[in-house]
Structure 1
Amino acid sequence: MKIAFVVGYFPVLSETFILNQIIGAIDRGHEVEIYAYQPANTSKVHPNVKKYQLMNRTFYQPHIPPNHFSRLSKAIKLLINNFHKNPLVLLRSLNFFKYGRWAASLRLFYSVIPLLESKSYDIIHCQFGTFAREAMIWRDIGAIKGKLITSFRGYDITWFVHENGEQIYDELFKKGDFFLANCKYFQKKAIQLGCDEQKIVVHGSGIDCSQFQFKLRLPPGANEKIYVTTTCRLIEKKGIEYSIRAVAEVIKSYPNIEYNIIGDGYLQVELQQLIEKLNVAGQIKLLGWRNQPEIIEILDKSHIFIAPSVTTRDGNQDAPVNTLKEAMAMGLPVISTLHGGIPELVENGISGFLVPERDVDAIAEKLTYLIKHPEMWSKMGQAGRAYVEAHYDINKLNDELIQIYQRVSSHNLPLLEPALAETRRLNSQGY
């Protein structure tokens, strides 16, 4: 099959779930191309970006100048240089009567520049519903051909709907060929918004379990540190303020704690100020972003993992986050929140603990309990590893994704849900 992946910035270190699907399709012999808005910071990239030479498969839209005059001037040059390639598509992209501000702002025009060579695919897989709305128009104006599959992953089915209204996906639900939600929680939200329940299945984000070696977590010696870790972007949704406050409270009784927070984001300065205000800068550290081998090295020496996600003021929510899966795969007991799709991943009291959002005292209480009861670490770690292997192994999920592509491409949707159910049953039994 020939598959197009429609993404945002690419490559992005924090979006290994997209990278895993791309290389999974390539490994299974399919032809893949990637459409992205702009390159992300390429100073640190996942090793597979280079291994699979993904930049050679990626097509970027021209940069859109923020200044309106510069944007128009650049658009005129692009029109002159590219008009001979596909005049109809270029002219249709300027139809502001039909496409409103999308066309009037020239955003649609800029976005079709990489698509002027009559692009045709078996599957167009849009990562996030926000990108699917644009790809739907590309298909309408003849810039791209293929079955349109949309993945709902988090902000696109929570914050974006909150900001733009519950009708924002009405047209996409009518024109899209199939939909994937990365947890039951978001599948239910999509159906409530109007998605045909026969056209959407749950397909989780996977991790390569072979890259995250399991290790029994044993208590440190009397004078050794207890390492607590979080991996996430430093944004409101990740709730890092609350884990910092909770760990700072526990440090009063257990000063041998070291809490390492891996990631960056717009809250970095604010969180560093909080750490200094609480006088715990020697024990709570913002490490910045790290590539996957560096993250694995830090997790390997850790004892407990915290993921304190919260629902933001504008409604943004998380699915079962991949950083939690990675920590669980490596045998770490986890503390997370009753939030979004996370309860579908963490079994409360079995692989970790779930506490209410923004509850500093509850996080501190569970962290203290785990420190007092290190015999729980190995039990929870083993349970977490088993659950992630059974439900989120990328190889099983990529096999499932190709099966979805094939059935959508061949219009064989009525049998899709039963077929996936049988595949998952066999996978859970180790076949």
Structure 2
Amino acid sequence: MKIAFFVNAFPMMSEAFIANSAAALIDQGHSVDIYGIGNVCPTGLSVKALEGHGLNERTVNMRWPNSPMVRFAGLPGALGTIVRKNGFGSLTRLRPDIYRRSMSDLTAVYQASAFEGNGEYDILHCQFATLAESVIKHRKAGFLKGDIVVNFRGYDITETVEAVGPHVFDHVWPEATSYIANCDYFRRRAIALGCPEDRITVIGSGIRLENFAFSPPSETANPSLKFLMVGRLIERKGFHIALKAIAIFAKQASVPVTVDIVGDGPMRPDLACLASDLGIGEAVNFHGARDHSEIADLIRQTDIFLAPSMTSAIGGQDAPVNTLKEAMAIGRPVIGTRHGGIPELVIDGETGALANEGDVDSLCEAINRLSANRTNWSALTHRARTKVEAMYALDTCTDQLVHHYEKSLSLAAARPIQQLETVLKG
């Protein structure tokens, strides 16, 4: 199959699942092109092992000036590129009735100038639902051809809906052939918004298990505990809740602690100040953004991995966190929260421990419970590894994705016949 991925930008350090999926499809013999259509600067490839797949050569990151005046000044060049690629007649496709707002601000022209050839694909995969509007418009205008598959992953089905309203994707439901959610929680949210229930499938973001070899935790009690958290330093990740819980635990249990935090974001100064105020400033290490191999090394060095996600003030929620999967794959005890899609992966007492989201006392209790049962860690982590293998092995997820694409193509092929039958019956 010939497949186009649509993302905000590629590669992004926090979106290794996009690179993994593209490389896995290529390994299976499919063609994948990647279009970054969000006018965003890429932050880099976090999976260094994928550099040999030539993903950068398959990627076009669309950029245009932020200034309206500079954007207008560059318009002749963008139009010239469209003509060179598609002929003079293609300019008639830039219709205001199709593009509306994106025509008035010229973003449609800059995007259209980036598509190669006739933009013909089997599958047009919008990796985030917020990108579907642009893809739909370009397909209507004839700059793209193919069946549209729309993914719901996180901010698109949570923060965007909270900000715009429950009808934000009403224009997408009639246009896309099928839909994917990366957890059942988001699938149910999409259906509640109007997504056709018979056309949405749950396919998780797969991980390369060979990069996260299982290493059972030590059963020997250490005089101290090392904790690790990985993610963007934003409210939704709940790291501020975790620092408070760890500080209480350390004081009550008289256990020395070390906390490693991997990731960057706007809350870093606040988190550093909080750690200092809690009296654990010297025990908290901020590592900034790290690639997957470095994160795997830090996971192996930790005792307990924390994923304390919580619903943010703007409605943001998480699916099963990818680094949580990686920690479970390597064999480290994990603590998650009853939040979003996390309970689909972390089963309390079976594959990890759960706490109530945004609840310091509940998280502290989960830390106490897990740390007091170290003799159970071996069995716990073996069950966790088995669950990750069953749900998130990259080959399994890729096979599911290919099957979904094939089903989408069959649905699209059957649609004209169904429409004809409806007309004849009428």
What TM-score comes out, normalization by structure 2 length?
A: 0.92
Deviations 1:308-342 (A, max 9, x none): 10111121111111111111111111111111111
Sequence identity percentage: 36
1:231 aligns to what?
Answer: 230
Instruction: Give 1:61-140 correspondences, 5 Å limit.
Output: 61=62, 63-86=63-86, 87-93=88-94, 95-115=95-115, 117-140=117-140
Residues 371 and 175 (structure 1), Cα distance of their counterparts in 2 relative to 1, 3 Å cut = same
Residues 220 and 89 (structure 1), Cα distance of their counterparts in 2 relative to 1, 3 Å cut = farther
Following the alignment from structure 2 to structure 1, what is the Cα–Cα distance between the partners of residues 325 and 178? Answer: 26
Following the alignment from structure 1 to structure 2, what is the Cα–Cα distance between the partners of residues 222 and 267? Answer: 31
1:156 aligns to what?
Answer: 156
Shift of 1:55: 0.6
Following the alignment from structure 2 to structure 1, what is the Cα–Cα distance between the partners of residues 160 and 72? Answer: 28
Shift of 1:84: 4.0
CA contact (8 A) 1:207 1:393 kept: yes
Shift of 1:117: 1.8
Residues 30 and 193 (structure 1), Cα distance of their counterparts in 2 relative to 1, 3 Å cut = same
CA contact (8 A) 1:220 1:226 kept: no
SS in 1 for 2:388: helix
Deviations 1:178-212 (A, max 9, x none): 10111111111111111111111111111122211
Following the alignment from structure 1 to structure 2, what is the Cα–Cα distance between the partners of residues 97 and 221? Answer: 68
Deviations 1:22-44 (A, max 9, x none): 011100001111111344123x6
CA contact (8 A) 2:276 2:282 kept: no
Following the alignment from structure 1 to structure 2, what is the Cα–Cα distance between the partners of residues 262 and 219? Answer: 26
Q: Mean alpha-carbon deviation: is it higher for 210-219 or for 172-181?
A: 210-219
Residues matched between the structures, number: 410
Residues 49 and 113 (structure 1), Cα distance of their counterparts in 2 relative to 1, 3 Å cut = farther
Give the AA of the match of 2:218. Answer: L
Shift of 1:53: 1.2
What TM-score comes out, normalization by structure 1 length?
A: 0.91
Following the alignment from structure 1 to structure 2, what is the Cα–Cα distance between the partners of residues 81 and 375? Answer: 65
Deviations 1:163-182 (A, max 9, x none): 11111111211010110111
Shift of 1:371: 2.1
2:175 aligns to what?
Answer: 175
Following the alignment from structure 1 to structure 2, what is the Cα–Cα distance between the partners of residues 157 and 340? Answer: 11
Give the AA of the match of 1:64. Answer: W
CA contact (8 A) 1:338 1:355 kept: yes
Deviations 1:126-180 (A, max 9, x none): 1010112211111111011011111111111111111111111112110101101
Q: Mean alpha-carbon deviation: is it higher for 169-178 or for 74-83?
A: 74-83
Give the AA of the match of 2:186. Answer: F
Residues 90 and 272 (structure 1), Cα distance of their counterparts in 2 relative to 1, 3 Å cut = farther
CA RMSD of aligned residues (A): 1.8
1:213 aligns to what?
Answer: 213
Shift of 1:116: 5.2
Structure 1 alignment gaps of length 5 or more: 415-431
CA contact (8 A) 1:89 1:141 kept: no
1:248 aligns to what?
Answer: 247
Q: Mean alpha-carbon deviation: is it higher for 48-57 or for 144-153?
A: 48-57
Residues 166 and 4 (structure 1), Cα distance of their counterparts in 2 relative to 1, 3 Å cut = same
CA contact (8 A) 1:11 1:49 kept: no
